[in-house]
Structure 1
Amino acid sequence: MGVGIRRARADERDFVVGLLDEAFMDDPVSSWVFPDPAHRRARHPYLMGAFTDATFADGYIDLLEDGTAVALWMDIPAAPDEPGAGADEDGPAQVRAAVDSDNERVEQIARLTEAAHPAGRAHVYLWMIGVKPGRQGEGLGTALMAQVLERCDREGLPAYLEASNARSRALYERLGFVFTGTAVELPGGPSLWPMWREPQGG
């Protein structure tokens, strides 16, 4: 597509949060975490901020140069500590405290996705990718993912993500991701589909 992509800077944190907030405001998972629309508008930016801050600390954020799409990535080492072990055991609770302390669903989704995350092999984790409403369906997400997936193929690295809706799942399948076979079922809410991609090409 000829779309320019660059690494987001730390001083662009608020812009990234705003873009993710807009992109995911009506997502099925966000609507489950914050069922009341007014409450969602108030607290959803804090959740996107927690994700953004964690990625700036331990990963990297790619941004389309025109500011219409963003992707949050983590390089996960081989054989990481088991979920919930050591210093990270209170991570989901800390996120809940920072985002919406009275909302147990913030902590619940963090624990469920953490438990589903495959361990053992080094891989690249696409935490989330957001495209500005009104620009979705134009291939911007695919363009944003392409250079990282090319790196995965070049270096022999798998990739992992959780699809949060049927449209994104179909996109990821076209890019070589395969559903792991066990969905993350949010109680009384939508499903997340964990997806794994083996490196491709020769």
Structure 2
Amino acid sequence: MGIEIRPIQPEDIPSVVECIQLAFADDPYHQWAFDTRPGKFNKERNFASLKAKCEWGMRNALFYVATDADQPDGPVLGVSMWMRPRTADDKQTWAEWLDDYILWFKQGWNLVRFQGRGGLNTNRYWIWKREQAIAQAEIWTDPNGYYFCNIVTVRPGIQGKGIGRRLFEVVTARADEEGRKCYLESSKEEPNIAIYEKMGFRLARKMVCEDNGDICDLFCMVRDPQPLS
């Protein structure tokens, strides 16, 4: 298997969404934020929401897919989406504002079209966003900004082949060249923390999201720029 890491293309989106849905089915945050009981979780609704986010990410993020170079028509094997660093002086551009509005409109249309949020617990979503804002305000102290790994995942059944590392390195190498830090949040303590530590990340803070005694922990990790070899 020859792994190729390349920027996402529009035709990749259905396979990208499928990869994300499969990989995150047992994710602790997904289990906490969504009602996954039969008849409650709408996979089609979730697909439409992720599709809209992918379309937004193509224009506003560093968005990569891993594919098998020997099977150009095969499924996407892994996905990573990174938010670009924003310095203390950077302001949102009009183009970014417009894309945010378009995403908001698409998600609003999905809400109407599917007559609901497909099982998303909006109260828990906003609990997470509040705790995330608090954690990032404490951790993000570098005025040069951080490369934020918004998502990284590998299709179930093919982990352990170095695909995830390649999806990290395409951006961490860039961060090292620029002398910038990277940041991620993981909802799995094991084995993820040990894996990320091998790639230069360190645990900076545990984020605790709690709703009526039901808790989801997320682990905030930072990677300092590494010396260039």
Contact 1:179 1:193 in 2 (8 A): yes
Contact 1:176 1:197 in 2 (8 A): yes
Q: Report the CA distance shift for 1:102/1:164 in structure 2 as closer, same or farther (over 3 A).
A: closer
Q: Report the CA distance shift for 1:27/1:169 in structure 2 as closer, same or farther (over 3 A).
A: same
Identical-pair percentage? 27
Contact 1:160 1:195 in 2 (8 A): yes
* Aligned-pair CA distance for 1:63: 0.6
Q: Report the CA distance shift for 1:102/1:156 in structure 2 as closer, same or farther (over 3 A).
A: closer
Contact 1:96 1:106 in 2 (8 A): no
**Structure number with bigger Rg:** 2
Q: Does 1:129 align with 2:152?
A: yes
Cα offsets for 1:129-161 (capped at 9, x unmatched): 011111123321012211211111122111111
Q: Does 1:151 align with 2:177?
A: no
Match of 1:19 in 2: 19
Match of 2:196 in 1: 172
SS in 2 for 1:183: strand
SS in 1 for 2:222: strand
Match of 1:48 in 2: 50
* Aligned-pair CA distance for 1:17: 1.5
> 1:69 is matched with which residue: 78, 89, 93?
78
Contact 1:34 1:44 in 2 (8 A): no
SS in 2 for 1:40: coil
Residue-pair matches, total: 194
Match of 2:122 in 1: 103
Q: Distance in 2 between matches of 1:44 and 1:135?
A: 24
Match of 1:116 in 2: 135
Q: Distance in 2 between matches of 1:175 and 1:48?
A: 27
Contact 2:33 2:121 in 1 (8 A): no
Cα offsets for 1:73-107 (capped at 9, x unmatched): 1112111689xxxx7xx99xx69866627632233
Q: Does 1:197 align with 2:223?
A: yes
Contact 2:35 2:121 in 1 (8 A): no
Q: Report the CA distance shift for 1:199/1:183 in structure 2 as closer, same or farther (over 3 A).
A: same
Q: Distance in 2 between matches of 1:54 and 1:107?
A: 20
Which letter does structure 1 place at the counterpart of 2:221?
M
Q: Report the CA distance shift for 1:49/1:191 in structure 2 as closer, same or farther (over 3 A).
A: farther
User: What are structure 2's unaligned runs of at least 5 residues?
Assistant: 69-75, 92-96, 112-116
Q: Report the CA distance shift for 1:102/1:152 in structure 2 as closer, same or farther (over 3 A).
A: closer
Which letter does structure 1 place at the counterpart of 2:21?
D
User: What are structure 1's unaligned runs of at least 5 residues?
Assistant: none
Q: Report the CA distance shift for 1:102/1:130 in structure 2 as closer, same or farther (over 3 A).
A: closer
Residue range with higher mean Cα deviation, 166-175 or 43-52? 43-52
Contact 1:22 1:132 in 2 (8 A): yes
CA RMSD between the two structures: 2.9
* Aligned-pair CA distance for 1:15: 2.2
Q: How does 1:23-42 map to 2 (within 5 A)?
A: 23-38=23-38, 39-42=40-43
TM-score, normalised with respect to structure 1: 0.81
Which letter does structure 2 place at the counterpart of 1:106?
Y
